[in-house]
Structure 1
Amino acid sequence: MQRERVADDIYIFTSDLYAQVTAGVVLTAEGAVLIDTLLFPEETRAIKHFVEGRLACPVRYVINTHYHADHTYGTYMFPDATVISHALCYDLLNTRGRDGLEQARQEMSELKSVQLALPMLVFNHRPLILRLGNKTLHMWHTPGHSPDCSVVLVKEDRVLFGADTLMPIPYFVDGSYDDFLASLQSLQNNTFECIVQGHGEVILRGEIEEKIQSDIKYLTLLKKYATNAHTKSDPEAYLARVDVERCGKSRILLSGQVQQLHVANLRMMYKQVGGNIQAPEPTAENSGDK
């Protein structure tokens, strides 16, 4: 697991074991706020040891940005913390997440100890504002990657935890293309010092607008190619030629996993515009399990 300090009181943790998924911690004199956890217990345990052991800062709150396994499976390790999420995250964890965890326990020995931890404090239409010590955290709904996805802004530092609304490539197989596009557009023309992606590297201030514009362009091109496929005699063959580079993204991101995510996006987009094609297979990024 990699650790990076992005502000005096904010650390980011990036998994070495699964898809460069990230978690973060905001430190205050009154305790810590943990934003997401990591998939495998050994890595979340290392976060807990660093924050509560080495830094001697008890975790008071855990924020689940969305219900997917790679962001929530470590929540149970903080039994004294108040867990916060969007209301839809609670519902999805209690349904898809519960079923997914049962399957994951059977398939992966590393996950046998994982327990489902449901949010205790939820918000819905209005943003949630959390004040702890000298920090103010604003959390609001940005659906698209999943129905429940939310982002978190640390107001004093202007650090945005973008969750999976911002990752190396937009991925909406468990969500909505239209919602994703609207959520990205809502983040434009803001002043952030940096953005912590749900997977991959931190986006620095000078890169933010270009990154968001690139994601919007990707989604726009994706829909264009999916729509064009309807005019082809062999839509599947046409879609197979639309690689991630044709939509403006690099295939080397996320250790090469972006091409797989892109193919799933393209097939889902083709279905959403009325095409007949097999749905993408579930992954930890579009279901409650690994």
Structure 2
Amino acid sequence: MGETLLTTDYFTVKKMAEGVFAAIAIPGRGAWSNAGIVDLGTELLVFDSFNTPSAARELKKQAENLTGKKVKYLVNSHYHGDHVFGNQVFEEAVIISTALTQEWFRDKNVIRDIDTEMIETQQYINQLEFQIYNEKETVVKESLENQYMEMAKLHKELPSLEMVVPTVLFEKKLVISGAERSVELYCFGGAHSPSDAFLYAPMEKVAFMGDLVTENLHLPIFHPEEFLRILLEVKTMDIEQIMPGHGDVGTMKQVDRMIEYLAMLRKAVIDALSYSVSLDDFVSNFVIPDGFRNWKGTQGIKRNLESVYNFYSLKQKEF
């Protein structure tokens, strides 16, 4: 979906509606996640800033060339690096997030010693290379290869990377009004991260979902029950087009697919716990349903099986 307007070294820009554009990351080039652009009228808003300053600089350049406006606002959907490590390019803009995202950003995205950071990142890249060499499953191997390329791009830019933290905060809803259109920022809670915000353009019926919605990807789950609740709440909104955090522009069918995935995991875990199946036995004997077998992820579905199992196992012990 969406009319392709241009392709850069890092991303492809698609027009979703008048004044609303998606920057879809090209795998392995340094963007890693998707970003969004909204022409508010006299001002310009960008949603998420990619994984590297180089990709972010290209995003800012193309956004301003496309609209003839200067970027005034940058929204961070959550604190993960692939969505915020380009923030320094937008340092002069108003950078917006939830208060909880700001807190986690300050706590987790810290470079205390660049030499140590360079060494540790290179060690991780070496581990990925070893995993790629030994991995037998094609889908997991492809995911590891993409992770390797993205981390290599980040490693190259670490010496010049600066952590620029959001300063304008909101909790549940923030409306940003422009001369031509307005957008609404929402946070219904924490699902993929402790706090996941998304952007809704009501007139255009377009949403930039961050990592609340991804396409065919076993993205980590922070809170499975909240994840389901949040997506069901999103379903009540009048949305026709969606830009996921990873993947191509789509429709509400992407939300439906995520709901199916989460419901499948929840049922499988609750059934296993009802029969007192151990975590190891559950994970090793789990048969991935056909509809999710080709989903990507550096650990396949294993990480989410473990996290959902541990969540409901702990919850079971509370009663």
Q: TM-score range by the shorter chain?
A: 0.7 to 0.9
Alignment RMSD (CA, Å):
2.5
Distance in 2 (CA, whole Å) between partners of 1:239 and 1:163 is 28
Label 1:155 to 1:101 Cα distance change in 2 as closer, same or farther (>3 A).
farther
Does structure 1 residue 35 correspond to structure 2 residue 47?
Answer: yes
Q: How far apart are residue 234 of structure 1 and its match?
A: 5.9
Q: Which runs of 5+ in 2 are unaligned?
A: 1-10, 122-154, 315-319
Distance in 2 (CA, whole Å) between partners of 1:101 and 1:95 is 15
Distance in 1 (CA, whole Å) between partners of 2:113 and 2:312 is 32
Q: How far apart are residue 232 of structure 1 and its match?
A: 6.1
The equivalent residue for 1:268 is 307
Label 1:29 to 1:182 Cα distance change in 2 as closer, same or farther (>3 A).
same
Matched residue count: 264
The equivalent residue for 1:285 is none
The equivalent residue for 2:95 is 83
Does structure 1 residue 236 correspond to structure 2 residue 280?
Answer: yes
Label 1:226 to 1:36 Cα distance change in 2 as closer, same or farther (>3 A).
same
The equivalent residue for 2:77 is 65
Does structure 1 residue 245 correspond to structure 2 residue 309?
Answer: no
More deviation, 51-60/29-38: 51-60
The TM-score normalised by the length of structure 2 is: 0.75
Q: Percent identity?
A: 22
The equivalent residue for 2:191 is 144
More deviation, 185-194/96-105: 96-105
Q: Higher Cα Rg: structure 1 or 2?
A: 2
How do residues 205-244 of structure 1 correspond to structure 2 at under 5 angstroms? 208=252, 210-230=253-273, 231=275, 235-244=279-288
Q: How far apart are residue 123 of structure 1 and its match?
A: 0.7
The equivalent residue for 1:198 is 245
Label 1:76 to 1:197 Cα distance change in 2 as closer, same or farther (>3 A).
same
Distance in 2 (CA, whole Å) between partners of 1:151 and 1:100 is 30
More deviation, 105-114/7-16: 105-114
Whether the aligned pair in 2 keeps the contact of 1:101 and 1:116 (CA below 8 Å) is: no
Q: 3-state DSSP class of the match of 2:109?
A: helix
Counterpart code for 1:273: Y
Q: Which runs of 5+ in 1 are unaligned?
A: 276-290
Label 1:12 to 1:233 Cα distance change in 2 as closer, same or farther (>3 A).
closer
Whether the aligned pair in 2 keeps the contact of 1:2 and 1:15 (CA below 8 Å) is: yes
Whether the aligned pair in 2 keeps the contact of 1:65 and 1:151 (CA below 8 Å) is: yes
The answer to which structure has the higher helix fraction is 2
Q: How far apart are residue 43 of structure 1 and its match?
A: 1.5
